[in-house]
């Protein structure tokens, strides 16, 4: 087999997904999922991988059969192994993918109040685990402009979906604690406690390297798509423009708010995966083959380094 054929085989093979699943499971075992009993975290990542498959399939993000998007998500999640132990963060990962899945259904439908409600309901539920997720809500409204789905009707539906989990929580707190709202107050107090600029000297080396790697992948995927987007349908282009915009915003926010690195890295991984997946699946030149080998080797080396040096193995 020629070296130039490996990229094509990996991109189109039906074995790619099961092989990367096994790879991900091995990383979890090495990282201590059994010793630390991180079964819920593992379940979250399994669900996240499944939702990535559905995100790709329902929206035909790649115009040929390929599991490269999901494979990229699993591999990049392995690179960022140090965020795995956070159950709250893993729930946010699932919520973000699910919210994109429902949001993309609203494409060019300004009457899609139902799907918009579900999108923001998912985000509202996810924000109960990580309140700072609420800072990303305006981005979703901008994405609705990209998708031509924002109207007064869908905007009101988004507010209703976002507030529903908090209405239910408020009712539960009033019932159980007889009007003591300190739990809710503490939840939002964490959101208002903003440390800007952040303490960069507290960020470990694996975080810097992983962030730099994601930037390289995101730029590679964005440049490729902008050069070759004419081959995709208009709907696919709009979805990718939404993904690119969201990814760029998140990657800019990470150095601005390094104290929220673990939270912001999750959407960065989710959004970079289809970009680099599109690149791997639909390019087959000598230059892109070299880039593919660089990406694969760099991901493996960085994963090994992060496993070795990060607190994930402690």
State the Cα–Cα distance between residues 24 and 268, nearest whole angstrom: 19
Cβ proximity of 169 and 129 under 8 Å: no
Query: Using CA of residue 145, residue 219, residue 226, residue 273, what is the dihedral sign?
Result: negative
Q: Report whether 140 contacts 123 (CB < 8 A).
A: yes
Cα distance from N-terminal residue to C-terminal residue, the chain: 41
Compute the distance between CA of residue 203 and CA of residue 205 in angstroms, rounded to an integer.
Answer: 7
In what helix (H) or strand (E) does residue 246 lie, and over which residues does it extend?
helix 234-256
Sorting pLDDT into bands at 50, 70 and 90, what band is 295? very high
Tell the residue number behind the tokens 């591999």, with chain if given: 75
Whether the per-residue pLDDT at 171 is higher than 60: the answer is yes
Mean predicted lDDT score pLDDT of the chain:
90
Number of H helices, E strands in the chain: 13, 0
What's the pLDDT tens digit per position in 174-185? Answer: 887 776 777 777
Tokens for 94, please give them. Answer: 């699932």
* pLDDT over 50 (residue 196): yes
- Integer CA distances (angstroms), 64 to 2, 61, 278, 282, in order: 22, 9, 10, 8
CA atoms within 13 A on the CB side of 232: 23
- Dist CA 155 CA 298 (whole Å): 42
Pull the structure tokens for residue 13.
Answer: 């093979």
Q: Could you tell me the two tokens for 126?
A: 């996810």
198, 213 Cβ separation under 8 angstroms = no
Give residue 313's pLDDT: 44
Tens-digit pLDDT profile for residues 227-266: 988 888 999 999 999 999 999 999 999 998 888 899 999 9
């Amino acid at each position: 087999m020629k070296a130039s054929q490996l990229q094509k085989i990996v991109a189109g093979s039906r074995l790619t997904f099961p092989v990367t699943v096994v790879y991900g499971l091995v990383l979890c075992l090495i990282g201590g999922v059994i010793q630390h009993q991180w079964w819920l975290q593992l379940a979250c990542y399994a669900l996240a991988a499944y939702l990535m498959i559905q995100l790709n399939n329902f929206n035909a993000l790649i115009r040929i059969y390929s599991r490269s998007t999901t494979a990229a998500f699993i591999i990049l999640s392995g690179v960022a192994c140090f965020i795995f132990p956070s159950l709250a963060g893993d729930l946010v990962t699932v919520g973000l993918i699910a919210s994109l899945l429902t949001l993309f259904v609203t494409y060019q439908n300004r009457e899609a109040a139902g799907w918009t409600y579900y999108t923001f309901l998912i985000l509202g539920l996810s924000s109960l685990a990580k309140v700072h997720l609420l800072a990303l809500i305006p981005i979703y409204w901008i994405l609705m402009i990209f998708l031509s789905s924002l109207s007064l009707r869908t905007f009101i539906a988004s507010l209703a979906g976002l507030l529903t989990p908090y209405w239910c929580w408020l009712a539960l707190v009033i019932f159980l604690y007889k009007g003591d709202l300190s739990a809710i107050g503490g939840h939002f107090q964490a959101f208002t406690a903003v440390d800007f600029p952040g303490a960069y000297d507290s960020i470990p080396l694996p975080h810097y390297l992983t962030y730099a790697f994601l930037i390289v992948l995101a730029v590679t995927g964005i440049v490729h798509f902008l050069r070759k987007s004419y081959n995709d349908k208009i709907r696919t282009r709009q979805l990718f423009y939404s993904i690119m915009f969201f990814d760029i915003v998140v990657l800019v926010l990470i150095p601005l708010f390094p104290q929220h690195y673990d939270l912001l890295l999750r959407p960065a991984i989710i959004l970079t995966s289809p970009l680099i997946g599109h690149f791997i699946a639909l390019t087959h030149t000598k230059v892109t083959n070299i880039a593919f080998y660089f990406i694969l080797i760099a991901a493996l080396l960085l994963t090994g380094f992060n496993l070795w040096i990060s607190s994930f193995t402690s």
